[in-house]
Amino acid sequence: MVFSSLACPLYRHYNPHVQPSPDAIDLFFASAALNAEKAALSGIGGDITYRALENLARKYAARFAAADKPRVFLALRRGHHACAAMLGAGLAGGYYAPANDASPPKKLQRIAGELQPDFIVAPPALTASLQEAAPGATLIDPADVEHGAKLQGPGQRHRIAYIIFTSGSTGIPKGVVIPRSALNHYIAWIHTAGCIRPTDRVSHFNNLAFDVSVFDIFGTLCCGATLIPIDGRFDRLMPARAIARERITVWTSVPTAIDLMQTGQQLTPENLKTVRLFTLAGEPLLRPQLEALFAACPKTVVQNAYGPTEATVTVSSMMMTAANFTEACEKSAVSIGPQIPGMRLHLHGGPHPDEGELVIIGPQLAEGYWNDPERTAAAFRPIEIDGQIHRGYFTGDWVERIRGLIYFRERIDHQVKIRGYRIELDEVAAAIRACGWPSVCVFKHNDDLAALLECPPGLTFDAAKLREDLAHRIEPYAIPEKFHTTPRMPRNENDKIDRAAAAECFTKAQP
Amino acid sequence: MISQDDILAQLTTTFRDIFRETNIVLRPDSTPETIAGWDSFKYVSVLVAIEAAYSIELDGPELDNLQNIGELIALIQSKS
């Protein structure tokens, strides 16, 4: 298979079965050479051309090259400085760790303290507290970089591409170390699968610390497409209007953004008519969200992309159209799709081969967790399949294969024991969703099973009716004793349900 | 032009409906931090209700810089 249709010459003779994927930094510079005057980024603040972005990346690289194998911590908003600093870190033979600049200062401090970077790139308002956590780091104010010298030439490459810190169950962030070869493999899939093409205008809605932003930034800039940062408060509240204004062709976000568009009465054919692909990732996609999207955009394609940060953003993908999406739905769940080329999904430890913990094998696996060999050894383990030993990432996601398609069922660590019964919290949540309550969080409260449900204004919640409906779906012992409703489910910075905040909300209402 | 007091009274009703909380008292210096239960979904619902009530269309830069309810009222006055 040769991808001669892709504009970048580095793909012209690329065959993923016989050669390594092209380097992401090289792809960007090749794209910049081909598209020098084209907008690399576009938005309310104006356009940044590929030439200007390359120049800025080279200026960041010149600053970073003052250290050997520079380790760069970025706390920047979406935009050309964040992109240039990421590219510059790679060009200078180093790697970067991005943080969400809107995170609480204490969280940013903890990450900087764990990383101990050589450089911190952040606006002046953040630098004092970050410097306190990483006293050896050199501070770089983005405003000062524009006037600096450029690093010329192809530069060097470190084996690590980036480190993304995710929330650890202990409260200490885990740094997931992604090798450059894994990033390159992922970028090649984005392009060869046609997720992003050179003519696309791609949203950048995801914050930098959420690894789906890698799809946005590298997927776009490594093929000569145009990135549209969605950074203003209004645009983030009314994303469909930003889609219409910016003529976005590829939209990427968590599925909750679709709910936000519905709440804002923006899920209309007029607003979304330019979008050829919705890539939804980061949390389970639900059938009602798909139905709403296809009702507004019957000609679009929706991709349900699944993957943990530990396997470089995406390892499986379900592409759906209005004509065939029901085939990928099982009750309210949507299949996570087949594995992407080069990756392998194995179901481990279940009662039969079509059910078990999902184990991921392949070139996109992380090296492990930053400075945490114990946790690395626990999650990345050898696994024997068909007589061969592989390095696998044990996801903790329990999945099921139905009619050949894989469906996410629950997190393994979401199992509790109540009055001697082992109960899978996500199974109970799925049953409640199937009863018409799409946003729900189930947890153990004291010695009982409890559920917090989102009940938007205008709806009436009837606990007795729900219990009656649940009795047809799950065992009596798995029906929650306690229910509480909230107008809006608590969600974290990445718009995923915040289980701790949901439990706290419940406890406040029913101590 | 609709008076500031009238808009404040109408906004208070809107917030009470959307938040399903009859005790909400809005003041010009009210901010998201002082309104219990504020989140992005409620904010969107408020914006949609304002656009419908005053037949106006809000947009990005003018909303991004709002600091409090008083500034929101001034914006509504300037557009309606």
Instruction: Supply the pLDDT for residue A6.
Output: 58
Closest-CA residue of B relative to A495 is B40
Instruction: Supply the pLDDT for residue A412.
Output: 79
Instruction: Supply the pLDDT for residue B60.
Output: 81
Partners of B39 on chain A (C-beta within 8 Å) are 488, 491
Instruction: Supply the pLDDT for residue A2.
Output: 43
pLDDT > 90: what percent of chain A?
A: 71
pLDDT > 90: what percent of chain B?
A: 55
Identify any residues that bridge with A261 across adjacent strands, giving them in sequence order.
none
3-state SS class at A443: strand
Helix axes A212-221, A180-192, angle to 10 degrees: 70
What CA–CA distance (Å, rounded) separates A138 from A41? 28
Residue A154 gets which letter from DSSP?
A: S
What CA–CA distance (Å, rounded) separates A336 from A357? 14
Identify any residues that bridge with A410 across adjacent strands, giving them in sequence order.
A398
Tell me what the mean pLDDT of segment A329-342 comes to.
93
Which residue did the predictor score with more confidence, A3 or A112? A112
Instruction: Supply the pLDDT for residue A427.
Output: 79
pLDDT > 70: what percent of chain A?
A: 96
Give the distance, in angstroms, between the CA of residue B25 and the centroid of all CA atoms in the same chain: 12
Instruction: Supply the pLDDT for residue A171.
Output: 53
Q: What is the pLDDT of residues A241-259, one digit of tens each?
A: 999 999 999 999 999 899 9
Q: What is the pLDDT of residues A265-296, one digit of tens each?
A: 999 999 999 999 999 998 889 999 999 999 99
CB contact under 8 A, A263 and B48: yes
Identify the band that residue A360 occupies on the pLDDT scale cut at 50, 70 and 90. Answer: very high
Tell me what the mean pLDDT of segment A312-317 comes to.
98
Mean pLDDT for chain A overall: 91
- Which of A52-56, A108-112, A212-216, B17-21 shows the lowest per-residue confidence on average (mean pLDDT)? B17-21
The chain B residues in contact with chain A (CB within 8 A) are: 17-20, 37, 39-45, 47-48, 58-64
Tell me what the mean pLDDT of segment A146-171 comes to.
87
What CA–CA distance (Å, rounded) separates A219 from A190? 6
Instruction: Supply the pLDDT for residue A135.
Output: 96
Instruction: Supply the pLDDT for residue A99.
Output: 94
Instruction: Supply the pLDDT for residue A167.
Output: 67
Which residue did the predictor score with more confidence, A147 or A59? A59
Across A31-40, A104-113, A164-173, the highest mean pLDDT is recorded for A31-40
Using an 8 Å Cβ cutoff, are A221 and A40 in contact? Answer: yes
DSSP string, B15-49: HHHHHT-TT----TT--GGGSTT--HHHHHHHHHH
Helices vs strands, H then E, count in chain A: 17, 27
Instruction: Supply the pLDDT for residue A371.
Output: 96
Identify the band that residue A172 occupies on the pLDDT scale cut at 50, 70 and 90. Answer: low
Q: What is the pLDDT of residues A484-504, one digit of tens each?
A: 999 888 887 767 788 888 888
- Which of A72-76, A196-200, A370-374, A497-501 shows the lowest per-residue confidence on average (mean pLDDT)? A497-501
CA-based nearest distance A104→chain B, Å: 15
CB pairs under 8 A between A and B: 52
Identify the band that residue A456 occupies on the pLDDT scale cut at 50, 70 and 90. Answer: confident
Identify the band that residue A4 occupies on the pLDDT scale cut at 50, 70 and 90. Answer: very low
Partners of B19 on chain A (C-beta within 8 Å) are 487
Helix axes A212-221, A80-91, angle to 10 degrees: 80
Instruction: Supply the pLDDT for residue A168.
Output: 56
Mean pLDDT for chain B overall: 89
pLDDT higher than threshold 50 for residue A475: yes
pLDDT higher than threshold 50 for residue A359: yes
Instruction: Supply the pLDDT for residue A422.
Output: 67
Partners of A241 on chain B (C-beta within 8 Å) are 59
pLDDT higher than threshold 80 for residue A297: yes
A interface test, pick of B46, B58, B64 with most A CB neighbours within 10 Å: B64
Instruction: Supply the pLDDT for residue A332.
Output: 84
The burial of B57, by beta-carbon neighbours within 10 Å (0-12 exposed, 13-18 middle, 19 or more buried), is given as exposed
Tell me what the mean pLDDT of segment A312-319 comes to.
97
Supply the pTM of this predicted model: 0.84
Any residues with CB less than 8 A from the CB of A225 and at least 6 apart, and which?
A196, A197, A198, A199, A200, A201, A202, A219, A250
